Amino acid sequence: MPTAISDSQFTAEVTQSTMPVVVDFWAPWCGPCKVTLPIMEELSQEYEGKVKFVKMNVDENMDIPGQFSVMSIPTFVFFKNGQPVKTLVGGRSKEDFKKEVDALL
């Protein structure tokens, strides 16, 4: 299950993580976000111990989404060694997400 994080937890959970991290920027009212949530849950189990999955509600957190120019949701930012390496906007298939996650390893 992706961990919900806030602006104040971002540094510790993402940029200081020893594992690659996938950040899901979402909101409760977003239809496509609801569609991708089960995919993120499955991937977080499949890659447990290898890749960390977190989610950030853009309605409750303004600073970090602004820093990464999140204009549409869902937006997924892939981090490796604390740095963003890939951004995907909008829903994707599980296979598409797996390709991107595998590229982090």
pLDDT at residue 6 in the model = 98
DSSP the chain: -PEE--GGGHIIIIIT-SS-EEEEEE-TT-HHHHHHHHHHHHHHHHTTTT-EEEEEETTT--HHHHHTT--SSSEEEEEETTEEEEEEES---HHHHHHHHHHH-
pLDDT at residue 1 in the model = 87
Indicate which residues carry an active-site annotation. Answer: 30, 33
pLDDT at residue 70 in the model = 96
Regions of the chain where pLDDT drops below 70:
none
Q: How many CB atoms lie within 10 A of CB 49?
A: 6
| Structural domains present in the chain | 3-104 (3.40.30.10)
Q: How many CB atoms lie within 10 A of CB 89?
A: 15
Residue-averaged pLDDT of the chain: 97
Which pTM does this prediction carry? 0.97
